[in-house]
Amino acid sequence: MTVEETRRRLGRVGVWIAPMTMLSTPLRVMREQLARIERLGYGSLWTGEPPSGAPVAGREAFAQLAVALAATDRLVIGTGVANIGMRDPMAMHSGAATLAEAYPGRLILGLGGQRGRRPLSDLRDYLDGMDKAALRVLPGIRYPRVLAALGPKAHQLAGERADGVHPFLQPVAHTEAARDALGPGPLLIPHQALVLTTDATAARGTLRAILGTGRRTTENAYTRNYRRLGYGDEDLAGERSDRLIDAVLAWGDEDAVAGRLHEHLAAGADHVLLHPLTADLPSAVDQLERLAGVADGGSATAP
């Protein structure tokens, strides 16, 4: 698929499900729920795998993608993200190309993670390795690839070597900055965490429980990027400020969550991935069902 073909096929709204939620779901239930997401009209389903060294591993990314593709008829399935620290470039390309050949037009490969101490240089080298592998393994098979890019240098790399970016847990301000950096051509597919409740304490507490509380601020790609967007120590330390939590989490009723989605689209996103923060996959799909009408599901028409 070309970028424009991918953009048309995706529509405006998709779904992101955490890898640990997928891991805890029996495959029979997973197939049922993914088919349900497709019936609701969403354009894509994305999931990934935990970082290298995580205490609990998720399902292997390409095996899980194969299950999702087989369980649905038209959904685009994406990795958010396939971890470059968990397989070499040959295996990454071979896995993606095999699925792209079996399910034409239905795969997007999102790449991220880290292999060494030079994240951008390592990622550039990794992309070189994938391109070399593509000359020998299924050379005629094409699939879009997007990078988990947050900062300006990563956006530049994505513009040079990928079809776009898939930012995770970022505010609308980042979507606007990413579109300015990328220009109009590349795909911009942000993730949007959400909680359907009007209880501010409960909503914010759900995300804080996932992020962890009471820890000292450590500098990583996310905190550096939040700082670039104007958040300081008072926002990033401990439980994180309400200001930061509210910027990255959509909460409230259906109209409030849909409003945040439309803000991303107005800021330049091509396709926004809704991520209900729930205890299990069926509960997540229940929330997606409530949102399908106000979010315009998988409609390719701008809101």
The pLDDT tens digits for 100-145 are 999 999 999 999 988 777 889 999 999 999 999 999 999 999 999 9
- 38 and 76 fall within a common domain: yes
Do 93 and 237 reside in the same domain of the chain? Answer: no
pLDDT at 257: 97
Residue 302 has pLDDT above 50, yes or no: no
- Is residue 297 over pLDDT 80? no
Structural domain span for residue 234:
197-251
76/270 Cα distance (integer angstroms): 14
In angstroms, the Cα distances linking 220 to 89, 112, 203, 226, 235 are 24, 14, 25, 10, 15
Q: Are residues 30 and 112 in the same domain?
A: yes
Question: Residues 90, 11: one domain?
Answer: yes
Q: What is the DSSP string of 132-188?
A: HHHTTSSTT----EEE---SHHHHHHHHHHSSEE---S--HHHHHHHHHHH-SSSEE
- 301 in a domain, yes or no? no
Whether the pLDDT of residue 290 is over 70: the answer is yes
pLDDT at 299 over 80: no
Within this chain, do residues 243 and 138 fall inside the same structural domain, yes or no? no
pLDDT at 206: 97
Are 172 and 286 members of one domain?
Answer: yes
182 and 247, same domain (yes or no)? no
One domain for residues 68 and 211: no
**pLDDT tens, position by position, 130-139:** 999 999 999 9
* SS3 category, 2: coil
Average pLDDT over residues 245-270: 98
Q: Is residue 302 part of a domain?
A: no
How many CB atoms within 10 Å of residue 123? 25
What percent of the chain has a predicted confidence (pLDDT) above 70?
Answer: 93
Residue 216, in any domain of the structure: yes
**In this structure, are 180 and 219 located in the same domain?**
no
Whether 173 has a pLDDT exceeding 50, the answer reads: yes
The confidence score (pLDDT) of residue 54 equals 65
pLDDT score for 163: 98
Q: Please check the confidence at residue 172 and state whether its pLDDT lies above 90.
A: yes
Q: What's the pLDDT at 102?
A: 98
Q: What's the pLDDT at 242?
A: 98
**pLDDT, averaged across the chain:** 93
Q: Does 96 fall in a domain? A: yes
Residues 280 and 233 in one domain: no
pLDDT one-digit tens code per residue, 19-33 = 999 999 999 999 999
> Mean pLDDT over residues 155-183, rounded?
97
Instruction: Answer whether residue 173 is part of any domain.
Output: yes
- Per the structure, the count of domains in the chain is 2
- Say whether pLDDT at 214 is over 70: no
Whether the per-residue pLDDT at 72 is higher than 80: the answer is yes
Cis before 81 (ω within 30): yes
Contact 301, 7 (CB under 8 A): no
Same domain for 235 and 274, yes or no, is no
Q: Is the four-CA dihedral 240, 246, 252, 254 of positive or negative sign?
A: negative
Mean pLDDT, range 253-259, rounded to an integer: 97
* Per-residue confidence band for 1, with pLDDT thresholds at 50, 70 and 90: confident
Q: How far apart are the first and last CA of the chain?
A: 25
Amino acid at the residue 197: T
Check residue 218 and give its pLDDT: 58
Dist. CA 68–CA 30, nearest whole Å: 8
